[in-house]
Amino acid sequence: MNKKMNVHINFKTSILIMFLLAAYNIYAVSKDPYSGSRIFWDTDSELTLFPSGNYARIIQLQDGRIMAAAESGGGISVCYSSNYGKTWTSPELIVRQQSLIPYAVPDLIQLTDGTILVGFNPRPSSPYSENRKFGIRTMISHDNGKNWEGPIFIFDAQYISDNGCWEPSFLELPSGELHCYFANENDFTLSNEQCISMCRSFDKGKTWSDPVRISFRPGSRDGMPVPIITDNGEIAVIIEDNGWPGYSGFRATTVRCPLSDNWNSVIGADSPNRNIIFANTNDKKYKSAAPYLRKLQSGETIASWQGDYGDRKGVGESQYDMFVAVGDKDAKNFKAISAPFNLSLSQHSLWNSIAVVGDGSVIALGSIGDPNTGNAIKMIKGYPKTYFEADFGTPVLDGSASGDTWTYKNAQQVFMGNVTKNKTTADFLYDNKYLYFTARVIDRDIYTDKVDNDGIFLSLDLENACDTYPQKGMFQFFLDVNGNVTMKYGDNNNWHDADNTEDITYIVNTKSFYYDMEIAIPWKLLGYETAPVQNQMRVNLEIRNRKDGAVEKEIIPETLAKQSWSWMEFRLNKTESGIQTPLSDNQNIIAYTEHGTLNIKSNTDISGISVYASNGALLHQTQSYGNSYQIPLSYSGNGILKIKLANGNTVSKKILFP
The mean per-residue pLDDT over the stretch 210-229 comes to 98
- Domain ranges in the chain are 40-384, 387-575, 581-657
SS3 content of the chain, % helix, strand, coil (to 5): 10, 50, 45
Q: What is the pLDDT of residue 615?
A: 55
Judge contact between 515 and 508, C-beta under 8 A: yes
pLDDT tens readout for residues 425-446? 999 999 999 999 999 999 988 8
Q: What's the rounded mean pLDDT across residues 161-177?
A: 97
> What class, spelled out in words, does domain 40-384 have in CATH?
mainly beta
* Averaged pLDDT for residues 312-336: 95
H or E stretch including 153? Answer: strand 149-156
The yes-or-no verdict on residue 11 having pLDDT over 50 is no
Q: Residue 145 region, left (φ>0) first, then alpha (ψ -120 to 50), else beta?
A: left
Going from the C-alpha of 221 to that of each of 106, 157, 165, 188, 351, the distances in angstroms are: 21, 16, 12, 11, 17
Which residues have C-beta within 8 Å of that of residue 187, sequence separation ≥ 6? 195, 197, 213
Distance CA 424, CA 442 (A): 6
Three-state secondary structure call for residue 612: strand
Query: What is the CATH number assigned to the segment(s) 581-657?
Result: 2.60.40.3080
Decide if 67 contacts 61 (C-beta within 8 A).
yes
- Least-confidence region, from 351-360, 388-397, 550-559, 612-621: 612-621
Name the residue among 297, 341, 295, 298 with its Cα closest to residue 321: 341
pLDDT-above-90 percentage for the chain: 76
Identical fold between 40-384 and 581-657: no
Q: Is 288 exposed, middle or buried (0-12, 13-18, 19+ CB in 10 A)?
A: buried
User: How much of the chain exceeds pLDDT 70, in percent?
Assistant: 90
- Specify the pTM: 0.84
For the domain covering 387-575, report its CATH number.
Answer: 2.60.40.1190
Give the residue from 321, 326, 370, 310 showing the smallest Cα distance to 350: 321
Which DSSP category does 229 fall into? E
User: What is the residue type of 458?
Assistant: L
For the chain, what is the total number of helices (H) and then of strands (E)?
1, 43
When pLDDT is cut at 50, 70 and 90, the band that residue 634 belongs to is low
Contact 476, 487 (CB under 8 A): yes
For residue 590, what pLDDT band results from cuts at 50, 70 and 90? confident
Query: Which distant-in-sequence residues (6+ apart) come within 8 Å of 341 by Cβ?
Result: 46, 321, 322, 349, 364, 366, 368, 378, 380, 418
pLDDT for residue 398:
86
Do residues 396 and 371 make contact, with C-beta atoms less than 8 angstroms apart?
no
Of 169, 84, 157, residue with least CA distance to 118? 169
pLDDT band at 193 (very low <50, low <70, confident <90, very high): very high
Q: How would you classify residue 150: left for phi > 0, otherwise alpha for psi between -120 and 50, otherwise beta?
A: left
Q: DSSP state, 3?
A: H
Q: Is the peptide bond before 384 cis (omega within 30 degrees of 0)?
A: no
What is the distance of C-alpha 92 from the center of its chain?
29
pLDDT: is 512 or 521 the higher one? Answer: 521
Give the model confidence (pLDDT) of 407-428 as tens digits. 998 999 999 999 999 999 999 9
